[in-house]
C-alpha cells in the first residue's frame, strides 16, 4: 500500500467528490423519543458535518531512532481510524550510499507502514534523501519527492526541503507549487507538509529565502504549516498563520516533556470549515496544539538555562576513600523565584548527609548546600560510583501555565591528571618527533557512539595522545592508527574521518558539569573538529571563522593513519573564562575520533571519556591540573 503514494490519489479524490462516502449520515440529526419539558441532552445536531474529516500526521522516526516507538504510533493510529496519514520525513536512518543498506531500511519501514489500515503519504527528510543514491531509490519506490493532492476542497502541499542539496527548495519546485496554487484558488484551506522548518533558519540562507517565495505565493489564502526535523514541538504564529514544528514519533529525544517540546506523539487533525483542529496524541495522553508555543518554549528554556544545580566533584589522589565533604552550588540566574527540592543518592557505599534538601531562591540568588559523604569503612577508590542528585525546580505559575521541571546532577569522583611541562620546544607540524611517548592510549574507548558496530576493534581505529604546556601555550598531540583514512577537503567532519576536541578552562563546578558539545563554541570553551590532509593543513574544519588566529593546528596523514598537533595560548584560555577572572588552573579535556571506513558509510565515534552531553557523562572526567611552576 505504501510504495507509491501517487497511486492512492485517485481513490482519495473520488472519495472527496462523493462527499459522504466515509460514513456521513445525511442531515446529521438525532431522533430521540418525544419529551415535553427538560431533556437529558444538549443538542440533537450530531457533530458530523460532511465536509469535516480527520487525518493523522506522523513525525521524525530517525536521527537515532528508538525501536518500537513508530510501530506503536501505527497501532494507535489504527485504533483512531483517521481517513489517511501524512508524514513530515526522516523515515529511515539513511546517510549511506550502500544500496543494500538503503533497501533494507526502506523495506523495514514499509513493512511497518503496511500495518496501517488507511493510506499513507510520504514526505522526504534529510535522512531519506542524503545523497544521489538515496534520491534515486526514492524516485524508484515513490516517484516525485514533492507533490500535492486535494481532498474535500482542502489542498495538501507536500514539499521537499532537500531538493538538489541539503536545506533547499529548487526554483522548479517553487514553479510547480505556484502552478498548483494558481489552479486551486478556491480551496477552503491549504496545508503544507515539509521536513525542515525553513522559516527558523537564518535570513539569507538559500533554503530560508526559497521558502519565503513559497510564503509569498500563499498570501491571501488560509493555510497551516507542519514540519519536523528539530525533534522539539513548537507552535509559531507567522504572518497570522500557524506554523507547527512537531516533536518525534520514535526519533532521538530526551523526552523531557511538554515544557521543552520533547515527547513522542502523532498529531490528530480534524479539518473543519474554520480551519484544522489539532490534537497531540501522545503515547501517554492527549493535548491541544498549544501544548508548547514559541513563547512558552522560550520561557521554559530560559528558566532551564538560567538555573544551575551543580555538584563540586571530589578528585581522587589516593587508592582508598574514607569520606569527604563537598557541596552543591545553586544559581538562579532568572527573573523568577524558584523552589528546589533534591534527593542525594542513594549510594550503596556512602551516606550523604543531608539525604534531601529544600531551598527557596529569589531571582538572581545563589547558594551552596554542603554535603558530607560518610563511609562506614575504607572504600577502594576505583570502585566509587557517581552519586546522582535528582532535583525538581518549581517556578510556580507564570502567565497561564505552571513551570515545574526536573533534572539530575551528579557528584563525581574523577582521577585528576597532572599537566606536565615541555622539555623540548613544540613545533606544530603534525610530525610528533619531539613528543616521545604518548602515555594516554585509547584502544578501548570509554564510549562508542554513532554506528557502534561499524568499529570492529583496535585494529580498525585507535589513538593515543598527550597534553603538555610551557609558558606560552597548552599543547596536544594525537596519533591516530586507522586502517582506512577517508578525508576530503570539501567533506564534512560529521561524515568522514575526523578528530573532535573539547577543552574547558572554567572553574568547578561549572567545568566539571559542562554538558555541552559545541554550543557557545569559543565563548566559554574550546571545540575543534577537523580532518587530516596530505600537507598537514587540517581540512573540513568546523566553524573555522571562530577559531582564534593564535590557535595553531596541524593534522597530517601517515602510513598508518594520521597525526595531529594543536597549540592553544594561555591568553586564549584565560579569555574564555571572562574578564577579571584569575588565570586558568585546570582543564577538562575530551577527545572523540570519528572513524569512517568507506565514503558515505557510517561513522563510529570513539570517545576517550563519555560524551559530556550524554547519559553516561562522568562529571569532571578528563581533568588536568595546572602545575604551580610551569
What pLDDT is stored for residue 7 in this prediction? 36
CB atoms within 10 A of CB 100: 8
For residue 475, what is the DSSP state?
Answer: E
Helix ranges, 43-147 (H): 69-80, 99-113, 132-142
**How does strand 356-361 pair with strand 623-625?**
unpaired
| DSSP H or E run through 350 | strand 350-353
For residues 347 and 230, the model is more confident at 230
What pLDDT is stored for residue 368 in this prediction? 96
What pLDDT is stored for residue 2 in this prediction? 39
| Mean pLDDT rounded to a whole number for the chain | 90
Cα of 459 vs its chain's centroid, Å: 31
What is the per-residue pLDDT across 549-594, written as a single tens digit (0 to 9) for each? Answer: 999 999 999 999 999 999 999 999 999 998 888 999 999 999 999 9
What pLDDT is stored for residue 270 in this prediction? 97
For residues 296 and 601, the model is more confident at 296
CA distance 601 to 460: 14
Residues 195, 204 contacting (CB under 8 angstroms): no
What pLDDT is stored for residue 19 in this prediction? 32
Q: Residues of the chain with pLDDT > 70: what percent?
A: 94
What is the per-residue pLDDT across 189-228, written as a single tens digit (0 to 9) for each? Answer: 999 999 999 999 988 889 999 999 999 999 999 999 999 9
CATH 2.60.40.10 describes domain 303-411: yes
Task: Tell me phi and psi for residue 181, to 5 degrees.
Answer: -65, -35
Reduced to 3 states, what is the DSSP secondary structure of residue 573?
Answer: helix
| pLDDT over 70 at 4, yes or no | no
Fold adopted by 54-292: Purple Acid Phosphatase; chain A, domain 2 (3.60.21)
What is the per-residue pLDDT across 75-103, written as a single tens digit (0 to 9) for each? Answer: 999 999 999 999 999 999 998 899 999 99
What is the rounded average pLDDT of the residues 179-190? 97
Task: Give the orientation angle of helix 206-217 with respect to helix 171-183, to 10 degrees.
Answer: 10
Q: Which residues contact 544 (CB under 8 A, 6 or more apart)?
A: none
Q: Which residues contact 220 (CB under 8 A, 6 or more apart)?
A: none
What pLDDT is stored for residue 517 in this prediction? 56
| pLDDT over 70 at 61, yes or no | yes
Angle, vertex CA 192, rays to CA 189 and CA 193, nearest 5? 145
Query: Please, which pLDDT band fits residue 425 given cuts at 50, 70 and 90?
Result: confident
CA distance 116 to 78: 6
What pLDDT is stored for residue 209 in this prediction? 95
Q: Locate the domains of the chain by residue range.
A: 54-292, 303-411, 417-625
Altogether, the residues listed in the chain come to a count of 630
Domains 303-411 and 417-625 in one fold: yes
CA distance 460 to 454: 9
Residues 348, 322 contacting (CB under 8 angstroms): no
For residue 84, what is the DSSP state?
Answer: -
What is the per-residue pLDDT across 466-521, written as a single tens digit (0 to 9) for each? Answer: 999 999 999 999 999 999 999 988 888 888 999 999 999 999 888 888 766 556 68
| pLDDT over 70 at 1, yes or no | no
Bridge partners (DSSP) listed for residue 274: none
- Give domain 417-625's CATH architecture: Sandwich (2.60)
What is the rounded average pLDDT of the residues 367-371? 96
What is the rounded average pLDDT of the residues 138-154? 97
What is the per-residue pLDDT across 113-128, written as a single tens digit (0 to 9) for each? Answer: 999 999 999 999 999 9
Amino acid at each position: 500500500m505504501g510504495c507509491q503514494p501517487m497511486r492512492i490519489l485517485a481513490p482519495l479524490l473520488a472519495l472527496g467528490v462523493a462527499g459522504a462516502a466515509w460514513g456521513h449520515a445525511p442531515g446529521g440529526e438525532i431522533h430521540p423519543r418525544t419529551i415535553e419539558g427538560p431533556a437529558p441532552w444538549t443538542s440533537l445536531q450530531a457533530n458530523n458535518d460532511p465536509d469535516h474529516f480527520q487525518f493523522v500526521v506522523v513525525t521524525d522516526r530517525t536521527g537515532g531512532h528508538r525501536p518500537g516507538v513508530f510501530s506503536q504510533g501505527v497501532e494507535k493510529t489504527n485504533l483512531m481510524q483517521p481517513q489517511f496519514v501524512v508524514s513530515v520525513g526522516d523515515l529511515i536512518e539513511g546517510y549511506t550510499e550502500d544500496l543494500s543498506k538503503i533497501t533494507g531500511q526502506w523495506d523495514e519501514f514499509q513493512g511497518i507502514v503496511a500495518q496501517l489500515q488507511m493510506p499513507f503519504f510520504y514526505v522526504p527528510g534529510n535522512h531519506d534523501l542524503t545523497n544521489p543514491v538515496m534520491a534515486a531509490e526514492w524516485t524508484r519506490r515513490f516517484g516525485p519527492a514533492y507533490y500535492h493532492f486535494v481532498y474535500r476542497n482542502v489542498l495538501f502541499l507536500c514539499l521537499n526541503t532537500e531538493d538538489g542539496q541539503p536545506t533547499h527548495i529548487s526554483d522548479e519546485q517553487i514553479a510547480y507549487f505556484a502552478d498548483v496554487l494558481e489552479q486551486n484558488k478556491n480551496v477552503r484551506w491549504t496545508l503544507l507538509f515539509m521536513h525542515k522548518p525553513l522559516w527558523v533558519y537564518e535570513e539569507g540562507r538559500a533554503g530560508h529565502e526559497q521558502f519565503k517565495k513559497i510564503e509569498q505565493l500563499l498570501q491571501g489564502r488560509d493555510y497551516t504549516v507542519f514540519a519536523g526535523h528539530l525533534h522539539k514541538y513548537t507552535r509559531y504564529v507567522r504572518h497570522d498563520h500557524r506554523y507547527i514544528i512537531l516533536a518525534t514519533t520514535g526519533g532521538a529525544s530526551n523526552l523531557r516533556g511538554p515544557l521543552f517540546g520533547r515527547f513522542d506523539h502523532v498529531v490528530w487533525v480534524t479539518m473543519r470549515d474554520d480551519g484544522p483542529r489539532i490534537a497531540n496524541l501522545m503515547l501517554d495522553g492527549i493535548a491541544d496544539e498549544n501544548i508548547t508555543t514559541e513563547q512558552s518554549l522560550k520561557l521554559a528554556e530560559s528558566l532551564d538555562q538560567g538555573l544551575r544545580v551543580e555538584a563540586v566533584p571530589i578528585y581522587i589522589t589516593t587508592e582508598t576513600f574514607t569520606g569527604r565533604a563537598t557541596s552543591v552550588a545553586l544559581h538562579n540566574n532568572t527573573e523568577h523565584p524558584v523552589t528546589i527540592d533534591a534527593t542525594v543518592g542513594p549510594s550503596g557505599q556512602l551516606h550523604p548527609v543531608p539525604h534531601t534538601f529544600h531551598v527557596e531562591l529569589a531571582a538572581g540568588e545563589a547558594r551552596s548546600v554542603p554535603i558530607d559523604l560518610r563511609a562506614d569503612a575504607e572504600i577502594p577508590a576505583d570502585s566509587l560510583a557517581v552519586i546522582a542528585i535528582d532535583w525538581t525546580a518549581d517556578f510556580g505559575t507564570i502567565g497561564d501555565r505552571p513551570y515545574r521541571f526536573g533534572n539530575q546532577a551528579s557528584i563525581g569522583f574523577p582521577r585528576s591528571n597532572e599537566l606536565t611541562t615541555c622539555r623540548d620546544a613544540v613545533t606544530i607540524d603534525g610530525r610528533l618527533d619531539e613528543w616521545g611517548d604518548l602515555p594516554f592510549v585509547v584502544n578501548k574507548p570509554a564510549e562508542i557512539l554513532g554506528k557502534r558496530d561499524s568499529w570492529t576493534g583496535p585494529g580498525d581505529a585507535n589513538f593515543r595522545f598527550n597534553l603538555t604546556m610551557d609558558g606560552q601555550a597548552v599543547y596536544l598531540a594525537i596519533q591516530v592508527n586507522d586502517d582506512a583514512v577517508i578525508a576530503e577537503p570539501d567533506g564534512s567532519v560529521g561524515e568522514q574521518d575526523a578528530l573532535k576536541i573539547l577543552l574547558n578552562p572554567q572553574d568547578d563546578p561549572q567545568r566539571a558539569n559542562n554538558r555541552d558539545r559545541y554550543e557557545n563554541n569559543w565563548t566559554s570553551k574550546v571545540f575543534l573538529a577537523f580532518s587530516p590532509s596530505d600537507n598537514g593543513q587540517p581540512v573540513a574544519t568546523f566553524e573555522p571563522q571562530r577559531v582564534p588566529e593564535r590557535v595553531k593546528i596541524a593534522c597530517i596523514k601517515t602510513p598508518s593513519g594520521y597525526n595531529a598537533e594543536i597549540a592553544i595560548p594561555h591568553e586564549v584560555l584565560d579569555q574564555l573564562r571572562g574578564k577579571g577572572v584569575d588565570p586558568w588552573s585546570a582543564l577538562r579535556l575530551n577527545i572523540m575520533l570519528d572513524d569512517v571506513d568507506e565514503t558515505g558509510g557510517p561513522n563510529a565515534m570513539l570517545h576517550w571519556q563519555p560524551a559530556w552531553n550524554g547519559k553516561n557523562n562522568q562529571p569532571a572526567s578528563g581533568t588536568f591540573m595546572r602545575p604551580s611552576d610551569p
